[in-house]
Amino acid sequence: MKDEVHSLRIEDKEVIRKMALDAGFHDARFTDCLIEDHTIEHLTAYENRIQKQDANNGLSWFLKYKDIRRNPHMLLENVQSVLILASVYHTKEAEPYLHGRYCLARYALGKDYHLILKKKGNELLKKINDAYSCKGRVLVDTAPFLEKYFAVKSGIGFYGKNSLVISPSFGSFFHITVILLNLSILPDHPAFADCGSCTNCIAACPAGAIQHYSIDPYLCTSYRTIESKEIFCEKQNTGGYIFGCDLCQNVCPYNRPPAYANFEEYKPSSEIPTNITGPIDRELFERIKKESVIQRVSYEKFNNSINTT
């Protein structure tokens, strides 16, 4: 027997939005759970490319659970609405880490965002459930779900030429948290903004990975320093980045000046040196990867990125 569906008034929708903002999220938007045909076509083409090209299995995970990615109802029975939450992760404390010989992407400086946002998302879901007796599920970048598609559809932001979602209000240095709900909630409108004639991100990418509104994942520094299993022998043009990359975001006009995080957990770990000057020893690596997204790579891979940058 399926769970009963409740339709919320506009006033209730605004109550939930206020709950999210009061919890520290920068924005909260609603959309339905339908996926347009042209998006499915693009998704299929992307999957086919990975199937043919991904010899090192760095993106092979994307080929799992294809049916679920196309059908949010398989993640939550009788899902009616998608609540998209944005949380900026850039902090003032990150500034000293951004100008050294070797750099980490901003999001890698603090605590693993999966841990932060899963906890805060579930706390928010409990409040929504207490108020409206609903069923829901929190997703943070680990389930087979089209986060960016639904974020754009909800009006959190628009697709940038670097393929990231950009908010007209606070740029692109933010993470997306999703809450699936069996509540029928009137969707918000998409954002009416775009990149215009700006091509800063395309020019800034040292690997030439960015085309207009698409990215070649196999050229992207983030892929090469995180997803790729390959240990490189030759020098890579990464602009100094050894885990992830922020170059295309650094030059984006919507990130000037950058917005700042509301969550203390995004502040840089005290274990990470402000100026990495060369390969690090295993003891330091073990310390900096604790509760960090850096644990996604091996010690050998981390130092390989340093040695080949």
**Torsion (CA) 309, 209, 173, 197 in degrees, nearest 10:** 130
Indicate which residue of 3, 12, 32, 141 is catalytic.
141
161 neighbors 195 (Cβ within 8 angstroms): yes
Contacts of residue 54, defined as CB under 8 A and 6 or more positions apart, other chains included, come to 60
Tokens representing residue 166 in the block: 């950009």
CA distance 233 to 218: 16
Q: Where are the alpha helices (DSSP H) in 133-246?
A: 147-154, 200-204, 221-222
Catalytic residue at 141?
Answer: yes
Q: CA of 199: how far to CAs of 113, 196, 217, 249, in Å?
A: 29, 9, 19, 12
Is 293 buried (19+), middle (13-18) or exposed (0-12) by CB count in 10 A? buried
Distance, in Å, from the CA atom of 243 to the CA atom of 224, rounded to the nearest integer, reads 9
User: CB neighbours of 86 closer than 8 A, spacing ≥ 6?
Assistant: 25, 26, 27, 28, 151, 156, 157, 167, 170, 174, 175, 176, 177
- Residues catalogued as catalytic: 141
